Amino acid sequence: MAFTLDKFSLTGKVAIVTGAGGRGNSIGRAYAFGLANAGAAVLVADLNGEGAQRVADEIAATGARAIAAQVDIADRASVDAMVQAAVDAFGGVDILVNNAAMMAELNFEPASQITLDAWNRIMAVNVTGALNCSQAVLPSMTQRGGGRIVNALSGGAYPPQTVYGISKIALAGLTTTLASELGRANITVNAIAPGNTMSDAGKGLTPKDGPFRQKMDLNVVMRVEGQPDELVGALILLASDAGSWMTGQVLHVDGGWILRP
């Protein structure tokens, strides 16, 4: 059967995007809008409940279906309530985007000096939070005959040189592990590793005159800066039937920062 663009349609699908309401121009917001534009009903989730509701209202104003949920992904009961809200509103869950993470809030202490409490909090959100959400959606995905899980990594994990990077390379390990466990259930598990994305958070972390930006100017082969919307194409591929034979993969969307054969 010939390939058609209908493979990219998400009509009739239900998606959850975590970390989608915390800041105005965010990757999570771009993901939620992109999934809705492709036809999915979207639950916009964030620790900032008011921000999540604002994004859901913006999506609903376009005629798409969207609701909001306040969630702490490090708290399993909160995650279970989020998933139940999607089931109650839309009938189930087909797509999970584990986008929520601690990044802008971090002080980027050296691993040799970080307190155990700070370390545990980062891992609880950036790694265990993704596990909580993935486990919580599995019953619905299994009942519906399959699903798509997409995790948010970072070019800063290749190689990891910060505690944040360590958390993201651990999430890469969770990605491949869940992919190997869930493939025969028709549940794909992949990841997107953004480069220097000019979200509101990204602008604050990588100023143009900072040493990190100067290093990227020397190493990135195409374009140092990207916009949140430029990540959406990779997400739609991984969330749709167009990417149904892909699992356990990390897509680097970064202008050629991380070059991996």
Q: Measured between alpha carbons, how far is residue 246 from residues 150, 156, 251 in Å?
A: 11, 23, 11
Evaluate whether 34 touches 235 at the Cβ level (below 8 Å): yes
Residue 113: phi and psi, rounded to 5, are -125, -10
List the catalytic residue out of 164, 170, 216, 228: 164
Reading the block at residue 74, the tokens are 């490090």
Active-site residue flag, 164: yes
In the sheet that 66-70 helps form, which strands lie side by side, from edge to edge? 66-70, 41-46, 14-18, 95-98, 147-152, 187-194, 250-253
Q: Which of helix, strand or coil describes residue 148?
A: strand
Q: Closest by alpha carbon to 93, among 52, 57, 151, 134?
A: 134
Q: Measured between alpha carbons, how far is residue 36 from residues 45, 61, 224 in Å?
A: 14, 11, 28
Please give the positions annotated as active site.
164
